[in-house]
Structure formats: structure tokens, C-alpha cells
Amino acid sequence: MRIKDTFWIGLLIGAAVFALCFLLLSLISWGEAYARAPYLLAFVPGIILFRMAMVKWNMEKCGKGILMITFIGMLLVFFLV
């Protein structure tokens, strides 16, 4: 089954990957010095998924959605956390 190449599905995939990775990383005790670490490390799989969607799978719209979630999320982490 092939995933449909739409921007909205890319947004959902990017948000789901971030949420899953953040939940797994938040189980680790990071300490006060590394308070942002779970947030920022949770975005790494989104960047890898973006590259795979754009280059390997040739899903440009989906890749743009993943990139938008990743970029906006990183900005929110830097300004709000």
C-alpha cells in the first residue's frame, strides 16, 4: 500500500514521529543542564524522514509537510523552552 503524496499527510507523519520520539526520550533522566535535549533530539528522525521522502520515495508534498512541522517545532523549542 502506497501512502498518498499530500501536504497534510506529511504534517501528520511529522507530528506523529516527533511525538513518539519525544515520549521515548522523555523517559530518560537528562538533568537540568540538558532540559532541551529530549525536544531537540526528537526532531532528528523527522529530518531523516524528510530526506527519505524527498530523495528516495519521491514524495515532494509529503516531504514539505514533514519539514514544516520540524522547522516550526524547532523554532517553538528555542523560543518557548
55 pLDDT higher than 90: yes
Phi, psi of 59 (to 5 degrees): -115, 85
pLDDT value, residue 65:
95
In this prediction the pTM is 0.86
What mean pLDDT is predicted for residues 64-75?
Answer: 93
Residue 49: CB atoms within 10 Å:
21
State the cell numbers at 13: 507523519
Mean pLDDT, to the nearest integer, of 51-72? 93
Residues 6+ apart with CB under 8 A from 41: 21, 25
C-alpha 46, offset from chain centre: 3
pLDDT at 1: 59
Which residue has 501528520 as its cell numbers? 12
